[in-house]
Structure 1
Amino acid sequence: MDKLDFIPIILGSDSNAYGMARSFYEEYQVSSIALGKGQLPPTQNSNIISVEVYKDLDKPDVFQNTLIQKAKELKSKADKLILIASSDNYAELIIRNKEVLEQYYIVPFVSEELMDQLIYKENFYEVCEKYNIDYPKTLICTPEDKDNIEPSFEFPVVIKASDSLSYAVCNFKGKKKAYIVNDKEEFRDVIDKIYLSGYNGNLIIQEYIPGDDSEMRVLNCYSGKDQKVKMMCLGRVLLEDCTPLLVGNYVGIINEYNQHIYNKYKAFLEEIGFEGFANFDMKYDRRDGKYKLFEMNLRQGRSSYFVTGSGYNLARYLVEDRVYNKEQEIVFADNEHLWLSVSKGLLLKYLNDKSLQSEVKKLIKQNKYCSTLDYKEDFNMKRFIKNLSYNYEYYKRFKRYYEKKY
């Protein structure tokens, strides 16, 4: 068997991992290897991605040793190995071990120093101030001032953990990824519950930006090893997951072109010296006409297959840059396309904006739509049945949890 130019090594086994594996396969007909603590349904029974399970993979010593050993095993099969993260946790582990891992892998991620400025939300909002990035009015709650803190802006307010990795291991009744609270009593109750669960990090308290899910925007970018942006693709969110622990994950996106946003974030990424994939979540504030940034991820977004599906293959920008060392002119995505991870019927049922409903129907009629997990080249009955079950589960979730936003 001929030696491959490269093999993608993807950390994680969720739909993000599958989307990246699909991107690599569509462009280069190369299958991916995923390493994870378990195997989640999106990557099961697949011919384009194989999953190897290491239960303690998220422990730093196990992580480094496992990746080094895997690289040695694959040395004879490919000239290069590319590391991809499908979650914040894996992205952080890669970056913390970047110096060692670069001896074995292509590691398209930022430095540890830059990461620490970007992943902790209180640090990140300082960066936003420095580079004139708009964000919601924000207050930091430390464990020391949790009993006395009060918001300096009007209710409703949003409460979320600054250290999402530490928060992920805390368990308590009523836990959510983010909370929208409407009065002081609810405000106090949420803060108490979070800290009683064992969480010891800071909390971010922000003003609530009015509007439903369709006011959200998601921007995915790739920056080359020369720290120049190569691709930017903006999406308008149609609908978010309403499951308490999955709030903020998108289930419907339509591509949107906005050169002002592209220019602003291109300048930001290049000024800070960014490398690799970046994902930005922001919301349009109709009160002042600005897009307020909530979060930045140092990896492609969970819903990032919408980029590949609309004609801008994520894997291509990475491989042409890092494997084949080709020069690339920046691409500002402007194709019209629909991405969804729930059924078309569910999306249309809970999409409130009539003009967006019409746009969705038009794109479906024109066959300009896709779903990450619905891939004909990877079809088999086991995957088909799992996808049916997945879609049915979402009907139940929306019936139970959905609340209209204003």
Structure 2
Amino acid sequence: MPHPETPTSRPAAPDPGPSSAQAGFDLVLLGSGLGVYTLARAFHEEYGVVATVITKVGIEPMRRSVTCVVDELGSSASDEDLVTAAVDLAIERGGVRPQLLLANADSLVQLMSDHRDQLEPHYVMPILEADVLERLSDKAEFARLCTEHGVATPRTEVIDLSIPRKAGWEPPRTDLPFPVVMKAARTADMAGVRFAGKKKVWFLEDPEELAALLRSIAAAGYTGRLIVQELIPGDDTAEGSITAYTDAAGRVTLLCSARVLLGEHTPDALGRPAAMITTPFDDALEQARALLEATGYRGYANFDVKRDPRDGTWKFFEVNPRIGRNNFYVSSAGANVSRFVVADAIEHRRIEPVTQFDEILYSLVPMPLLRRYLRDPPLKRWVATVARRGVRNPWTYPADGGWARRYARIVGLNHVRKFLRHYPRPTDSGF
């Protein structure tokens, strides 16, 4: 499929097909990538719906997949062009069926919220209210809310670069013991900032390294807040993921957790799980539920957590206002993620909360590579036992045929190359 560089010539509205009519709704997704592909896959598996994906530039698996039709606007398209395209599509379809609009990136959920007045007359949008999104998308505010509601979180300090800096400005220092971890308080605020050494998360060994990085970030024009947090000991296998859905009545109808076995280590993807095993985090799940219900949450949520070996508690780092890139681990564990939003936003039906799941191994990487990074013998045996029942790879949708399996193998081999370059051997800290 060609990649038009400008959105000046719009194709006719994609026909979602008879399966969408049978399901009683159409699905429109903003964005691209693995998290959108697996979301489209979930709806296709459960309802036979073919999603329309509106994006600037798509990825080849989505262009070839039976799960979706990709409407590419071109790399020069603006975020506002995405909104315009979504509105135009809904108008062309004429309101015959409900139009469900979802995204799986923080910046695109924010875009939907910012343009709610334009989109809501045409779309069902089960997302947070603007004030809740503002509070929870900010990691500094999230840490404060966790403390307020008794949810465990790492010690956190805030560095505010929105304050005007005078001549001779010196970066502030932290009282936290080194090493520390630093990240943007709001991921969306860092999206358009470019500078050497940019990462999703920084691991900093000493005050001088922190000061140098702050100078680079400030010089690049970043005017948001940054958070500095204590380093919770432990490698990737101490980390966890919690996926949730909260309905319009404020009820948490989905809570699923998985232990991370291996995270990605390229600068732009640091922290993304590459392999996980589903297992219940009983105490952390209840904390997640309490926080979602107390803050008036709505829609999908994905929490990043880590077990602190010093006291055995799960520490909450952030909540993403979306289902998350690795949402397929939930669907493959027995609870197709599309059911919860459809019951809530399309059918307006009350369902019983789901918290029990199959034990499955989710992995984007080849098993030999995964075993290389598992250093704990009991954990290796557990993973091997679950793997014998089958490894769940999100790219291998049977309905997409042989090319999907070949693509999954290519992705796996690319991961081998990336790990050997960026994280050649496991470390105690995961950095």
Indicate the TM-score class for this superposition, using the shorter chain for normalisation: over 0.9
Are positions 1:389 and 2:407 aligned together? Answer: no
Question: CA offsets, 1:296-352, max 9 Å, x none?
Answer: 111101111100011011001111222222221111134211111122222122222
Change (3 A) 1:58 1:208: farther
Are positions 1:32 and 2:56 aligned together? Answer: no
Question: CA offsets, 1:252-282, max 9 Å, x none?
Answer: 1111113222222212211211111011001
Q: How does 1:302-341 map to 2 (within 5 A)?
A: 302-341=325-364
Please give the TM-score of this superposition, normalised by the length of structure 1.
0.94
CA contact (8 A) 1:57 1:66 kept: no
Are positions 1:107 and 2:125 aligned together? Answer: yes
Aligned match of 1:281: 304
Q: Distance in 2 between matches of 1:112 and 1:56?
A: 28
Q: Pick the aligned partner of 1:377 from 399, 403, 413.
A: 399
Q: Distance in 1 between matches of 2:229 and 2:306?
A: 13
Aligned match of 2:98: 80
Question: CA offsets, 1:60-87, max 9 Å, x none?
Answer: 54333222111112336x5111111111
Q: Distance in 2 between matches of 1:380 and 1:151?
A: 53
Aligned match of 2:313: 290
Q: Distance in 2 between matches of 1:131 and 1:42?
A: 42
Q: Distance in 2 between matches of 1:371 and 1:168?
A: 28
**Once the 2 structures are TM-superposed, how far is the Cα of residue 51 of structure 1 from its aligned partner?**
1.0
**Once the 2 structures are TM-superposed, how far is the Cα of residue 90 of structure 1 from its aligned partner?**
0.7
Aligned match of 1:262: 285
Q: How does 1:7-406 map to 2 (within 5 A)?
A: 7-55=26-74, 59=78, 61-75=80-94, 79-143=97-161, 144=163, 147-367=170-390, 369-381=391-403, 383-402=404-423, 404-406=426-428
Q: Distance in 1 between matches of 2:395 and 2:106?
A: 21
Change (3 A) 1:335 1:57: farther
- Give the 3-state SS of the residue equivalent to 1:200 in structure 2: coil
Change (3 A) 1:177 1:235: same
Change (3 A) 1:98 1:327: same
Q: Distance in 2 between matches of 1:6 and 1:290?
A: 42
**Once the 2 structures are TM-superposed, how far is the Cα of residue 166 of structure 1 from its aligned partner?**
2.7
**Once the 2 structures are TM-superposed, how far is the Cα of residue 42 of structure 1 from its aligned partner?**
4.0
Aligned match of 2:6: none
Question: CA offsets, 1:116-136, max 9 Å, x none?
Answer: 111122222222222122111
CA contact (8 A) 1:158 1:180 kept: yes
- Give the 3-state SS of the residue equivalent to 1:79 in structure 2: coil
RMSD across aligned positions (CA): 1.9
**Once the 2 structures are TM-superposed, how far is the Cα of residue 58 of structure 1 from its aligned partner?**
7.3
Q: Distance in 2 between matches of 1:279 and 1:386?
A: 26
**Once the 2 structures are TM-superposed, how far is the Cα of residue 405 of structure 1 from its aligned partner?**
3.0
Return 349-358 or 177-186, whichever deviates more. Answer: 349-358
- Give the 3-state SS of the residue equivalent to 2:98 in structure 1: strand
**Once the 2 structures are TM-superposed, how far is the Cα of residue 107 of structure 1 from its aligned partner?**
0.5
Change (3 A) 1:166 1:266: closer
CA contact (8 A) 1:14 1:86 kept: no
Return 137-146 or 274-283, whichever deviates more. Answer: 137-146
Aligned match of 2:12: none
- Give the 3-state SS of the residue equivalent to 1:132 in structure 2: coil
Q: Distance in 2 between matches of 1:61 and 1:252?
A: 35
Q: Distance in 2 between matches of 1:13 and 1:310?
A: 23
CA contact (8 A) 1:6 1:81 kept: yes
CA contact (8 A) 2:139 2:185 kept: yes
Q: Distance in 2 between matches of 1:271 and 1:58?
A: 38
**Once the 2 structures are TM-superposed, how far is the Cα of residue 114 of structure 1 from its aligned partner?**
1.0
- Give the 3-state SS of the residue equivalent to 1:153 in structure 2: coil
* Structure 2 counterpart of 1:114, one-letter code: V
Q: Distance in 2 between matches of 1:351 and 1:131?
A: 35
Change (3 A) 1:351 1:58: farther
Return 162-171 or 252-261, whichever deviates more. Answer: 162-171
CA contact (8 A) 2:364 2:408 kept: no
* Ranges in structure 2 where 5+ consecutive residues have no aligned partner: 1-16
- Give the 3-state SS of the residue equivalent to 2:268 in structure 1: helix
CA contact (8 A) 2:172 2:211 kept: no
* Ranges in structure 1 where 5+ consecutive residues have no aligned partner: none
Question: CA offsets, 1:372-397, max 9 Å, x none?
Answer: 1111111243x444333222111110
CA contact (8 A) 1:140 1:203 kept: yes
**Once the 2 structures are TM-superposed, how far is the Cα of residue 148 of structure 1 from its aligned partner?**
4.0
* Structure 1 counterpart of 2:267, one-letter code: P
Q: Distance in 2 between matches of 1:376 and 1:401?
A: 32
* Structure 1 counterpart of 2:101, one-letter code: L
CA contact (8 A) 1:110 1:276 kept: yes
